[in-house]
Each structure stands twice: as structure tokens, then as C-alpha cells.
Structure 1
């Protein structure tokens, strides 16, 4: 769809630009490395205190405990200077109806006027900022080591994007080892990877332990709501686990590992595995620090080369804002989206 504008500077106060999923996919295609850098800068701004992240309320449904809708309001300063909110739902049974598990909308607000400036489909942005965060964490934790294999546990949309970003960050990867409790989904995932990527060798594992033992970088993005992994002795020394789905590990596993998070306050909520570990021992000292601490040089990426590190990112609204701002500005430059003129209230005469 075409807008009435040919340049970013011409958007007027009160106008709102609407960007669809197809618009956003077009605008972000092939920009994985750029998105990783955007996410890096957002984490640094957050670590410096140039952000505001109120608690994220969860809307739950008594008769459908797996379903939820989360509000993620945020402000991000420094070079971003933007505010807004993401409203994101997770309905795991949508797969039975041929629908995606997650859907979302993001609203960007001007920090000068408070007016809404853009309404963006949010699930694409959410998936890509999650993947960029995971790839950034993997790079930091791996240091200069160039991995030849990656492990994937749960073959859904999020891990597909993470695979895309990890392959962009680590061109040395030659092997993917994947697992899903639904074998047919793993087969489809393998086929999709072969179609979309310059595909390394892909092996479908029979169980989680095979994935843990096969590679030092593992991404877990399930839809589980309670712990189901109670020991990780199969892991290689120095493994780095991207615990994207947050609730897979028992408290005992968390407490046995080196733990890095995106934000301590946020991750210690909503019955995440880290939250359960905190409740078990009544303190947070087992959390060594945040990814922002690593980026700002406050802590080392790894305490020892052989440590097994679990990165548990709650998923901060500032990342959605950072990527959404890039999309918003890129969309106007490329004349993509739909403009709603004078969407906001006009001054009284």
C-alpha cells in the first residue's frame, strides 16, 4: 500500500501510519546484522538507566490457563527517544486451526506530544527482536569461538527466526540438530530451513538430551508453562543455552548453572524458571548479571570457559520499541504502509 508521503519529515502531528506484517517483512528482509546492532544499543541504553519498563501485566483466562495476553509498555531514550506499548497474545492451541500461536500489535508514541505515531503488526517485530537478542547473547557468550553446530529444541516460529539470526551471526555453522515432541513438525521445520537458508546439515534428534550433547549453543523456545527439564548432564562443558521460553528448567537446573538475564526484576516474575529458583532459596544471588552488564563491561561474559550458561530473556518492551522505530522510519522512507491523517484529536477552535 502507498502512503501520501515521500519522506519521514513530512509526517504531521496527529497522523498515524499503519504497517502490516507484509510491510514489515519487506522492510526487515536481510537486515539481521543491523537488527542485532539495534538490539545491542537498546540493551546498553537500558543498562545505563535510559529507559522505563513498568511491570508487564498478564491477562489470563481461568478456563484456558495456557492462553495469555501480555501488555509491555516502555520508554527508550538515548538515540531512540521513543515510547509505546506492545499487546501480545499467546494461544498455543491456535496451531490446531492452522493459525500462528502469537499475535501482537505495537503502538509507537511521540515523546514530544504523546500522540500515537504508528500502529504496527507486532508478531513479526517480536519474533525478530527475540531472535536478534538470542544471537547477540550467543555471540557474547561464545566470545571469539566460532561454532560449527547449533541445537534447536521446539520447531516453531520463534526458533525459526533464531535459526535465521544465528546463521547470520555464525557463518561457520555446518550442522543443525533439531528436536520437537511433534516429529512431523520437526520434519516440516527441516524442510523449511532447507528452502530458506543456505542450509547446513540438519539432523532430527529423538530426544532433548541428544540436542544437549551435540552442540554448545542450544535454543529452547517451547510453549511449556511448567518445568519439564530436570537435569542437563548431557550438556557439553561451556555450553550456552538460550532459554527463550523461560519455563522449561526446574529450579535445581537453574541453580546449578551460570545465569544471565535481560532484566532481573522482570525475569523474577510470572513463574519463570528463574522466578521458581528465587522462590526456592529466597534470594537472587544465583543471577550473575544481565546482558547489559556484559555489554557495558561490568561483568565477564563467562565466569569460566567450562561454565554452562543459561540466558533467560524475559523479553523487554524496549527491544520492540527499538525495532518498531526502525521499521516506522524505514516504512516512510520507502513509502510503505497506510496513513490515517489527523487520527489524533485536533485542537479546539
Structure 2
């Protein structure tokens, strides 16, 4: 439908709205988990590139100062930023792309998502655009799918109870991925700040997963963790003060728990011990971010993997104890080895994930005739 002869100078691309993305399969979580698993294999073997001098930067970010001489400049309210996340991914994907977004937690007061995202996918040979996509669902599902990859390799196969902090979008997609990889789950415990968001999440769980027979709202992080086989922190919040980040305390966790942490997280001394398996979704990305940040880096990058790198720098954690999820997925390091291991996975989010899932959705759209064809030019005015 949208193909142009290779010899032509004409460049068409497709625009995919959010409804188009849904029609092309962006909410197919089982397929997304499989795609992320494939991506991790390529990541581990080095068939990718991201931003920065080491090709491992999370992206390029614009943040705003506390005090500016320009009265119209935005203020640094929570989650107020603009960011570009470029990447190339090889294998069967062999595409490049960039996710661009603006974010402001105050959007919720306007009935909008915290972040509003777009994604551009490019032909890796010419650099021509292949697609411009609505990317909120793309990003949400690839973010949730990574915990699903983690659960496939690191959670107990008989996991039944999931504890969730934060009943938002990330909680929904993470739970969807857990359900795709741990089908015995029958109980969910959730803690949130607002009754409205909690009620909406509970209703969604009951409507979407009738096999989940118990959905319980709890009042404390301790209750989220106690007795859970899988724990995930999915809340949003201000960064800069790690003392305000939610804490994982070892005394609250039973043997065999898998913790998937894509959001603000701190750990107590017990969770720093050598017998806790500490897995990062891409150690090289954390190391690149650590070099870029003012120390302690956990102030500015609030995921638990960065906290562990701060502890390495302080001599309190051995760098060799930090594991690589890609190496586990590639079969070159063990996944879960027994039913009593406590394993914590840091999920930082990577642009290669957007490229992987965006490429699959683009190819689905082409095959299904979905999207609006747009013309860049028939012949370029400048060559």
C-alpha cells in the first residue's frame, strides 16, 4: 500500500495515530514480551547503538532551572522535562528511531497523561522516515514487557501473589506482562495515593483478568511486600531526595521473591547483601548515566540500579555482583537457580526497546494496510 520503488526519489511514510497503533497490535503484551526478549539477546551481543560517547546513554534531556531570568521559562515542577531517546537495533529489526517526549506531572489536572510521546522510525540505509507514531502505548507496553522478561527468567514458576505500589499505567502493563509469563497468579495487592486511581485499577484487574480471584488494596509498602511472590514499584514522584524514595526492606520480603523495579526505589542494608541477586536491564547504560551525573547519581536517576552503582563507588557493594539481564536471556548466565533466591531487577528503560516494538508495529501496519500515507517529497529540492 505504501511501498515506493527503490529507484524513485519519492519518499512516503506513514502516520500511525493511537487507534492505528492499537489496530496494529501495540497492546499485544505476549508478543511484546517475546520481542523484548529477542531485543535483550541482541543487546547482550552488542548489535545495537544508543546515544552518547559509549553508545549507551539513556538519551538527551532538557531540564529547567530553579531560578531563571526569563519569566516565561517553565519551572522545574515534578517530572517537568523534554527528552529525546535515539537508538539503532540490528538483527531482524535493522532500523533506527527516536522517541521524543515532554513530561509534566501537572498534566493530570488537565486530563492528560503525565508524558506525551511520539516516535519516528527510520530506514537505516537512507535515513528516510518510515513512520511517525503515537508512542504513549508503544512506550507503556515495552516498559511493562521488560518486567515480564524478568519474570520469565527470574520469578518462581509457581508465583501467585503480586504486590504493586502505584496503580497507574505502568502497573497495568507490568501486571499484563506478569500474567503473560506467570499464569498461576491469582492475587493482587495494590497501594496507591488516591481512591479514584485505586478504584479504577481494581475494576480494570477484575474486568481484564477473571482468573485473579483476590484484589486487595493495602495501606503500607510493608503490606505490598509481605507474602508477595512478585513485587513491583510503579509510582511516580519527584526526584532529587532519595530519602523520599520508597524503601525495600529485606525483613518485609519472603524467600523466593522477585522484585521488578521500573520506578523510584531505595534499598535498606539487608537488600545490599551479597546473597541478594541484583540484576540490571543494561549495566552499560547505568555506568554511562553514572558518569554523566553529579554524585550521588541516585539523586537524579532514581531507579535501584543507580543506587547500587553509588554503593559500588562507596565500596559497600562489589561491582561483580551486579548481573546483566541480557546475559541471562542469552543463556550465558543462570536465571533463577532455586526457589529461595531473592532477586531484584532494575528497569531503567531503553530506546532500543522502542525501536524493537516500534518496528514490529510498523511492519504489522504495513501488512494490514493501517495508517495514513504522507509524502515527504517526490523529488528533493536540495541534493
**TM (normalized to structure 2)?**
0.82
Q: Does 1:213 align with 2:226?
A: yes
Q: List 4+ stretches of structure 1 deviating above 3 A.
A: 7-13, 250-254, 302-305, 342-345
Corresponding residue for residue 258 of structure 2 = 240
Distance 1:105 1:345 in 2: 26
| Change in CA separation of 1:251 and 1:231 when aligned onto 2, cut-off 3 Å | closer
Corresponding residue for residue 18 of structure 2 = 21
Q: Does 1:324 align with 2:358?
A: yes
- Structure 1 unmatched ranges of 5 or more: none
Distance 1:17 1:254 in 2: 47
Q: 1:76 aligns with which of 65, 81, 89?
A: 89
Corresponding residue for residue 160 of structure 1 = 172
CA deviations 1:53-93 (Å, max 9, x no partner) are: 12212221223242222211100001110001111333222
Q: 1:172 aligns with which of 179, 184, 188?
A: 184
CA deviations 1:166-200 (Å, max 9, x no partner) are: 22222211111111122332122101222333251
Corresponding residue for residue 279 of structure 1 = 310
Distance 1:339 1:232 in 2: 54
Distance 1:303 1:40 in 2: 19
Distance 2:223 2:345 in 1: 20
- SS of 1:219 mapped into structure 2: strand
Deviation at 1:140, TM superposition (A): 0.5
| Change in CA separation of 1:46 and 1:230 when aligned onto 2, cut-off 3 Å | closer
Distance 1:204 1:348 in 2: 61
Q: Contact 2:266 / 2:307 at 8 angstroms: preserved in 1?
A: no
- SS of 1:108 mapped into structure 2: strand
Q: How many residues align structurally?
A: 342
CA deviations 1:150-180 (Å, max 9, x no partner) are: 1111000111111222222222111111111
For residues 117-266 of structure 1, the aligned pairs below 5 Å read: 117-142=130-155, 145-200=157-212, 201-224=214-237, 225=239, 226=242, 227-229=245-247, 231-245=249-263, 247-250=264-267, 252=269, 255-256=272-273, 257-266=276-285
| Change in CA separation of 1:49 and 1:158 when aligned onto 2, cut-off 3 Å | same
Corresponding residue for residue 295 of structure 2 = none
Corresponding residue for residue 340 of structure 1 = 374
Q: Contact 2:26 / 2:137 at 8 angstroms: preserved in 1?
A: no
**TM (normalized to structure 1)?**
0.90
Distance 2:195 2:29 in 1: 29
Deviation at 1:345, TM superposition (A): 6.1
Corresponding residue for residue 72 of structure 2 = none
Distance 2:250 2:378 in 1: 53
Corresponding residue for residue 64 of structure 2 = 61
Corresponding residue for residue 288 of structure 1 = 322
- Structure 2 unmatched ranges of 5 or more: 52-56, 66-74, 290-299
Q: Does 1:297 align with 2:315?
A: no
- SS of 1:52 mapped into structure 2: strand
Q: Does 1:49 align with 2:46?
A: yes
Q: How well do the aligned residues superpose, as a CA RMSD in angstroms?
A: 2.4
Question: Which range moved further: 252-261 or 154-163?
Answer: 252-261
Distance 1:325 1:344 in 2: 24
| Change in CA separation of 1:345 and 1:161 when aligned onto 2, cut-off 3 Å | farther
| Change in CA separation of 1:242 and 1:10 when aligned onto 2, cut-off 3 Å | farther
Q: Contact 1:254 / 1:274 at 8 angstroms: preserved in 2?
A: no
CA deviations 1:196-250 (Å, max 9, x no partner) are: 33251211112111110131111211113242315242111121111011x3214
- SS of 1:342 mapped into structure 2: strand
